[in-house]
Amino acid sequence: MPIRRVLLPTKYTKLQNTPDNGRRGLSAATVIKIDNILSGALKQAVINRLIGRNPLDETKAPKIEDNQIRILTNEEQRLFIGALPFFNTRHMFSVALATGMRIGEICALDKSDINRDQKYIDINKTAGRRKDKYTGEVSIKVGPPKTRYSIRRIPLLPSVEVMLDRQEQLIDEMKAKVGTRWKDNSLVFPTDEGNIHDLSGIRSSLHRILKRAGLPHMTVHALQHTYATTALNSGVAAQNVARLLGHKDGATTLRFYAYYINTEAMIQLEKLEEQNNNHLGISADELQRIVFKSADVLEKTNISKTN
């Protein structure tokens, strides 16, 4: 029995368009992943002589356009923060905006990762949806971050400590509310029943917050982008911002956010990178290792200006 062509360009378009139920259509990146999986399976079928040809060879996947980074303006930050007290995820999003941590990292954050005495937070894991290769069951799991650069230590600022204190009070309130249904654990930011957050639930919460604040749609990445540009515009050295965000090096961070940095800060940062990489004759990897090993580097920057 011949296999029909599974995805035609018109099908790609249909996947990307907004469905009738009002939800957002699939992104180009997601459609490409679907195409890659199907194409790989059909290619193997050709090798195994189950079919004569790969019907997807004649299709063209959509192009991924360079999306403009979404940065919250000062007014949008005011509206966003003003809407947070009405939601149990309020402190989670506050910490994301104040530290640049990724949402998966915040969901996986354990109390043991926070050192109140020496004032730092260790980021060494992330939460995400993972499929069990034996059962096929999809669940939220905590595992290592995507790259080795994501494993880092960031300073615990006073403003973040305040948010953590408020979060502990909120957990006590949530425990009292659900009673025996509460699941004991050491998560810093659990759900209202003590479980680890599902990232789809985080996105839904963000959508409700934005709606209450009267703000347009944006992803959780906007919080990290806002933190990064605020830090760079405040004069924090590019290599230190890279270290805080878990980027490979300062040059990567500069390229990523160059458009959103004010002229004065950009000139200063470009000169800094030129000096580090050319005049001193050091590589980005060498600089990264120095920053990682030295606890004094971050303490000597004006990172507090980002809050």
Domain positions in the chain: 9-58, 85-213, 222-306
Q: Which residue has the higher pLDDT, 76 or 49?
A: 76
Identify the three-state secondary structure at position 138: strand
Per-residue pLDDT of 168-188, as tens digits, reads 999 999 999 999 999 999 999
Question: Is residue 2's pLDDT more than 60?
Answer: no
Q: Which two tokens stand for residue 18?
A: 């907004």
121 DSSP β-pair partners: 114, 154
Q: Which two tokens stand for residue 92?
A: 């989670």
Question: Is residue 17's pLDDT more than 70?
Answer: no
Average pLDDT over residues 99-116: 94
Question: Is residue 1's pLDDT more than 70?
Answer: no
**Percent of residues, the chain, with pLDDT higher than 90:** 40
- Per-residue pLDDT, 138: 74
Label residue 163 by pLDDT band (50, 70, 90): very high
- Per-residue pLDDT, 122: 95
Question: Is residue 102's pLDDT more than 80?
Answer: yes
Question: Is residue 9's pLDDT more than 90?
Answer: no
- Per-residue pLDDT, 273: 57
- Per-residue pLDDT, 188: 97
Q: Which residue has the higher pLDDT, 23 or 35?
A: 35
Question: Is residue 306's pLDDT more than 70?
Answer: no
Label residue 55 by pLDDT band (50, 70, 90): confident
- Per-residue pLDDT, 87: 95
- Per-residue pLDDT, 135: 75
Q: In the CATH hierarchy, which top-level class contains the domain 85-213?
A: mainly alpha
Question: Is residue 287's pLDDT more than 60?
Answer: no
Question: Is residue 282's pLDDT more than 60?
Answer: no
Question: Is residue 291's pLDDT more than 70?
Answer: no
Specify whether the CB–CB gap between 82 and 217 falls below 8 A.
no
Label residue 13 by pLDDT band (50, 70, 90): low
Most confident of 55-69, 134-148, 194-208, 240-254: 194-208
Q: Which residue has the higher pLDDT, 77 or 49?
A: 77
Question: Is residue 106's pLDDT more than 90?
Answer: yes
Average pLDDT over residues 276-303: 51
Question: Is residue 32's pLDDT more than 50?
Answer: yes
Label residue 142 by pLDDT band (50, 70, 90): confident
Helix (H) or strand (E) holding 238: helix 238-245
- Per-residue pLDDT, 137: 75
The dihedral sign for the CA sequence 185, 187, 193, 198? negative
Specify whether the CB–CB gap between 152 and 239 falls below 8 A.
no
Question: Is residue 290's pLDDT more than 60?
Answer: no
Look-up of token digits 């050192």: 115
- Per-residue pLDDT, 8: 47
- Per-residue pLDDT, 297: 40
Specify whether the CB–CB gap between 28 and 16 falls below 8 A.
yes
Specify whether the CB–CB gap between 51 and 3 falls below 8 A.
yes
